[in-house]
Amino acid sequence: MEKSQPKKVIRVKDLRKIYRIGDERVVALAKINLEILQGQICCIVGTSGSGKSTLLNQLAGLEKPTKGSVFIGRTKISSLSENRLAEFRQRHLGFIFQSYNLMPTMTALENVSLPLIFKGASRSRRKKAALSMLSAVGLKKRAFHKPTQMSGGQQQRVGIARAFVTRPKVIFADEPTGNLDTKTTSEVMKMMVRFARKHRQTLIIVTHDPELADYADRVITLIDGNITSDVSHTTIYDGTENCDKSSTDDKKDAVESEDLIEIPDSDSDIVLPKLMEDPPALPSDIDLPEETEIKGDSSL
Ligand SMILES: Nc1ncnc2c1ncn2[C@@H]1O[C@H](COP(=O)(O)OP(=O)(O)O)[C@@H](O)[C@H]1O
Ligand SMILES: [Mg+2]
């Protein structure tokens, strides 16, 4: 029986981005047309200055285009107000950064709980979901550590847990392994791909490292703000531990994360096997009111 066609999650039409500094004009993106499907793992590759981060920022609604449009689902994010965009990002998108961008005064648990506050989850659900996610990235024992007490690889795993904890439709990662060594890079890439595959989430990774393309379904190459190649290929790494990319070490990791728990769904009750001792309360001054519905994004 034929499978139904995957949905288009992102649509970009005639996107152009020009930066002006004084009299200087930099054409960061010339004219980009692009469609990305649900569940696709995409790498955007290119040398430094080719426009990768600019494209990612446009796709994620972090910057406004000079011309053209970007849709996520049915929502034209390139036309949303800043407030609406912020809400949209909190509801539907996840972000992973090169320098992790964790809150330095917060524990791993608090960092991972944070996006759930913006989604209006109760304190106990936040705690359960964040612990579950930390367990999924193999950091249950570090729940009460602060970023400075963790290695770069561990911090990025907290970053991954934070990005996936709300089960976003699309996860954006700009040079997520840029500060990591080769072995840790492979662990982090596998973890992101495995999580994304599990719930058919779309993952868009910007990198200057062509080797990371091995993890992707699709590789989009940029040169001077233009897409010069866009190749979909048979996936080399499929998110399971039975394929070429996994080493013995990784298998050990996989076992640890096998008794994990499902990636929590913030819209359903989360059942955890075991809870650790009671974590500290999250700061009360960052509690937000219930989220508001965004019109026009019903496809998401
Ligand atoms: N905020 C900005 N102001 C001015 N120029 C920018 C800005 N951001 C990026 N650029 C320029 O746009 C081009 C593309 O940059 P960028 O998207 O950061 O490239 P990459 O991520 O591939 O290294 C570069 O020439 C860069 O100098
Ligand atoms: Mg960049």
- pLDDT of 264 > 70? The answer is no
Question: Would you state the torsion angle of the CA atoms of residues 105, 107, 109, 111, taken in this order, to the nearest 10 degrees?
Answer: 30
For 144, the domain range is 38-64+82-286
- Is the Cβ atom of 65 under 6 angstroms away from ligand 1? no
**220 within a domain of the structure (yes/no):** yes
**232 within a domain of the structure (yes/no):** yes
Residue-level pLDDT at 262 = 36
Counting ligands in written order, which one lies closest to the CA of residue 55?
1
**56 within a domain of the structure (yes/no):** yes
Q: Which residue has the higher pLDDT, 291 or 96?
A: 96
Report the nearest atom of ligand 1 relative to the CA of 50.
22
**21 within a domain of the structure (yes/no):** no
- Is the Cβ atom of 26 under 6 angstroms away from ligand 1? yes
Residue-level pLDDT at 118 = 85
How does pLDDT run across 182-240, given as a tens digit for each residue? 999 999 999 999 999 999 999 999 999 999 999 999 999 999 999 999 999 766 667 77
**119 within a domain of the structure (yes/no):** yes
SS (H, E, C) 168-200: CCEEEEECCCCCCCHHHHHHHHHHHHHHHHHCC
Which residue's CA is the closest to the ligand 1 atom numbered 20? 49
**162 within a domain of the structure (yes/no):** yes
- pLDDT of 272 > 60? The answer is no
**299 within a domain of the structure (yes/no):** no
Query: Average model confidence (pLDDT) for the chain?
Result: 83
How does pLDDT run across 71-89, given as a tens digit for each residue? 999 999 999 999 999 999 9
- Is the Cβ atom of 21 under 6 angstroms away from ligand 1? yes
Tell me how far the alpha carbon of residue 71 is from its chain's centroid.
17
Residue-level pLDDT at 255 = 32
Q: Determine the distance separating the centroid of ligand 1 and the alpha carbon of 288, expressed in angstroms.
A: 34
Residue-level pLDDT at 279 = 34
- Mutation to probe ligand 1, out of 44, 54, 64 (largest number of atoms < 8 A from CB): 54
**Residue 128, both tokens:** 């359960």
Counting ligands in written order, which one lies closest to the CA of residue 222?
1
Confidence label for 125 from pLDDT (cuts 50, 70 and 90): very high
Ramachandran angles phi, psi of 142, nearest 5°: -105, 15
Which residue's CA is the closest to the ligand 1 atom numbered 6? 19
With b meaning 16 or more CB within 10 Å and e meaning fewer, what string describes 16-31? bbeeeeeeeeeebbbe
Residue 237, domain CATH:
3.40.50.300
Residue-level pLDDT at 107 = 98
Q: Domain total for the chain?
A: 1
Residue-level pLDDT at 3 = 62
- Angle at CA 161, nearest 5°, toward 160 and 164? 85
Rounded CA-CA distance 156/108 in Å is 11
| Beta strand pairing call for 8-21 and 67-72 | antiparallel
**Residue 167, both tokens:** 């089960």
How does pLDDT run across 4-53, given as a tens digit for each residue? 778 999 999 999 999 999 999 999 999 999 999 999 999 999 999 999 99
**142 within a domain of the structure (yes/no):** yes
Residue-level pLDDT at 28 = 98
Q: Determine the distance separating the centroid of ligand 2 and the alpha carbon of 32, expressed in angstroms.
A: 17
